[in-house]
Amino acid sequence: MPRRFVFWPASVAICLSFTFPLPVLAKDELVLAIGGEPDQGYDPLLGWGQYGHPLFQSTLLVRRADLSSKPDLATAWSLSDDRLTWTLELRDDVRFSDGSPLTATDVAFTFNQAAKAGGRADLSVLQHARALDDRHVRLTLKEPRITFVESFYTLGIVPAAGRDNGYHDSYGRQPLGSGPYQLVEWQEGEQLIVERNPYFHGPTPAFERLVFLFTGEDTTLAAANAGRLDVAAVPPALAGQPPTGMYPLEMETVDNRGILFPMHPDDGERRGTGAPIGNDVTADPAIRHAINLALDREMLVEVALHGHGRPAYGPADGLPWSNPEDQIEDANPEAAIALLEDADWRLGDNGLRHKNGQTARFRLTYPASDSTRQMLAEVVAAMLTPLGIEAQPTGRHWDEIEREALHRDAILFGWGSHSPQEIYYLYHSQHAGQAFYNAGDYANATVDDYLDAAQQAASFEDSLSLWQKAQWDGETGYGMRGDAAWAWLVNLEHVYYVDECLDLGELPIAPHGHGWPLTASLLDWQWECD
């Protein structure tokens, strides 16, 4: 009986392995498990391509690894003096993967339609787009907004609805574009198979065929260990144990975690949603500065991220719109204590500081489902105890955070974007108190001026110094040396197992979201073995 038991599955396995040889991992085909399945399909108008490479479509511009611009569909672009009109010139040799030409009409349609679509692609500032002739398109904005250029990098161009092969309701499942790859089959919830687009206008990608598996974390790991994958997104804790034949790739990110402080004292006011506003302790700049000074961010990376990350000092560390001068010597509890003493926060009998009858105590709220944030909150609380500040780590559901905590507690958030528009939402007083944007009601007229000036800059490059000044201009800013509206803690690292033969080229700093952003450099990927 035992012999039969072993024999049966083994013989089936042997039969199967003869009948169905596993696909040979030749250099023609890559198998990747990096998540990123868009449930709504591969429709740029609904947000496909906001991160990483859109595969099927091409965009007006593309980013280099250092985030500078490179032409793709557009060869020239200019912004009018009133900052309301973009005029772009297009290449004339671009074809969709069915061989039909891509013209300015398609570009104009894509932008107009995306503005109405109500998806994740935000073009709400677009007034209208118009094709001037086959090769020129004009985009008119409702108000100056330099961060509109983000759509040049992320909005894949689709064929206009008026054409025979044009955009239609189920475009997301039958995408047609001018990108490097075309869809072969999408087995929803399972895998995506793509092949090179023969009409692609750019350099021919090194791999004829890509297979993206949409497996969960455990299954991805199992598949990687079984040797079925060329690239796998894995949790950082596993960076040290890659399967044979693969190396762990640690990608730097601005996928950050930081503490948002409520900026106003508690006056008993409430938001329209009923959420209470204000916190008497965090409203004091001395508290916020002391926390920023005292935190040992290197230690946070070691303890909470197992070493897989880097300290965060701002919302966009290392990106061109972040100010490198907004730096402090952190991990310095002595300086923090001196600062608190100067601000009249006196140590009481219970080991906590007091000022005007107020105890230095606040809730540090984190979404209960996120174990990394829980760990960060616990370690931060431990680091603040010697100062006489009690941060009480409190795990709550997002809904409860929105109802109870959003404008009253210090909250552990995570952001990180390839567009400085995020800075605008987080720190402009126009968005003060609006849900998740500027939840702490931060308001500084000088910062507002810089942020508005940045939006009205003549070019994206010109806007960079203004974004930086909003963080710290030598006197004020939203950053640690200025108002210290946040205490940024860490930037995560995204870890992938990559086949030892696969060279992924130079990688940019990745945004929030582990997985698909890796494909940003897709066209540079090379196979290094025979």
Partner 1 sequence: MGMRLIARFTARCGRLLLVLAAVAVAAFSLIQASPIDPVDAYLGPQVAQVSPEQRTLIAERWGFDDPAAVQFVKWARNLANGELGWSHVYNAPVSDIIASRFRASLSLLAIAWLGSTLLGFALGVIAGSHEGSLADRLIRLYSYTLASTPIFWLAIAVLLLFSVGLGWTPVCCASPPGMLRADVDWLTRLHHLLLPALTLSLLGVAQIALHTRARMLELMRSDIALYALAQGATRRDIAWRHGARHACLPALTLALASLGELFGGSILVEQVFAYPGLGQATVEAGLRSDIPLLLAIALFTTLFVSLGNAFADLLYRWVDPRLREEVRP
**Which residues are at the interface with partner 1 (CB under 8 A)?**
9-10, 12-13, 16, 19-20, 22-23, 29, 31, 39-41, 43, 46-47, 50, 116-120, 122, 124-125, 170, 172-173, 184-185, 187-191, 193, 209, 211, 213-216, 218-219, 222-223, 225-226, 228, 397-400, 402, 415, 417, 419, 421-422, 425-426, 431, 434, 436-437, 512-513
Q: Shortest Cβ distance from residue 213 to partner 1 (Å)?
A: 6
Instruction: Specify the 3-state DSSP secondary structure of 86.
Output: strand
Q: Shortest Cβ distance from residue 227 to partner 1 (Å)?
A: 9
Task: Print the SS3 string covering 145-168.
Answer: CHHHHHHHHHCCCCCCCCCCCCCC
Which CB, 22 or 132, lies closer to partner 1? 22
Q: Which residues pair with 194 in a beta bridge?
A: 183, 210
CA atoms within 13 A on the CB side of 111: 26
φ, ψ of residue 226 in degrees (nearest 5): -85, 0
18 CB burial (10 A radius; 0-12, 13-18, 19+):
exposed
Which CB, 164 or 218, lies closer to partner 1? 218
Q: Which residues have C-beta within 8 Å of that of residue 503, sequence separation ≥ 6? A: 525, 526, 527, 528
Q: Which residues pair with 141 in a beta bridge?
A: 126
Q: Shortest Cβ distance from residue 187 to partner 1 (Å)?
A: 6
Instruction: Specify the 3-state DSSP secondary structure of 33.
Output: strand
Which CB, 345 or 427, lies closer to partner 1? 427
- Residue 343 CA from chain centroid, whole number: 37
Q: Shortest Cβ distance from residue 15 to partner 1 (Å)?
A: 9
Q: Shortest Cβ distance from residue 512 to partner 1 (Å)?
A: 5
First-to-last alpha carbon distance for the chain, in angstroms, is: 47
Which CB, 103 or 394, lies closer to partner 1? 394
Q: Shortest Cβ distance from residue 104 to partner 1 (Å)?
A: 25
Which CB, 98 or 190, lies closer to partner 1? 190
Which CB, 128 or 173, lies closer to partner 1? 173
CA distance 414 to 433: 18
Which CB, 314 or 388, lies closer to partner 1? 314
Find tokens 């210090």 and name the residue. Answer: 410
Q: Shortest Cβ distance from residue 321 to partner 1 (Å)?
A: 15
- Residue 48 CA from chain centroid, whole number: 14
| Cβ atoms within 10 Å, residue 431 | 18
CA distance 224 to 431: 44
Task: Tell me if 395 sits within 8 A of 366, measured CB to CB.
Answer: yes
CA distance 240 to 254: 22
Find tokens 């075309």 and name the residue. Answer: 182
Instruction: Specify the 3-state DSSP secondary structure of 9.
Output: helix
CA distance 169 to 118: 14
CA distance 322 to 464: 8
Q: Shortest Cβ distance from residue 379 to partner 1 (Å)?
A: 23
Which CB, 221 or 281, lies closer to partner 1? 221
Which CB, 173 or 346, lies closer to partner 1? 173
Which CB, 8 or 247, lies closer to partner 1? 8
Q: Shortest Cβ distance from residue 281 to partner 1 (Å)?
A: 25
Which CB, 345 or 424, lies closer to partner 1? 424
Q: Shortest Cβ distance from residue 359 to partner 1 (Å)?
A: 31
Q: Shortest Cβ distance from residue 468 to partner 1 (Å)?
A: 20
Q: Which residues have C-beta within 8 Å of that of residue 239, sequence separation ≥ 6? A: 248, 250, 308, 493, 495
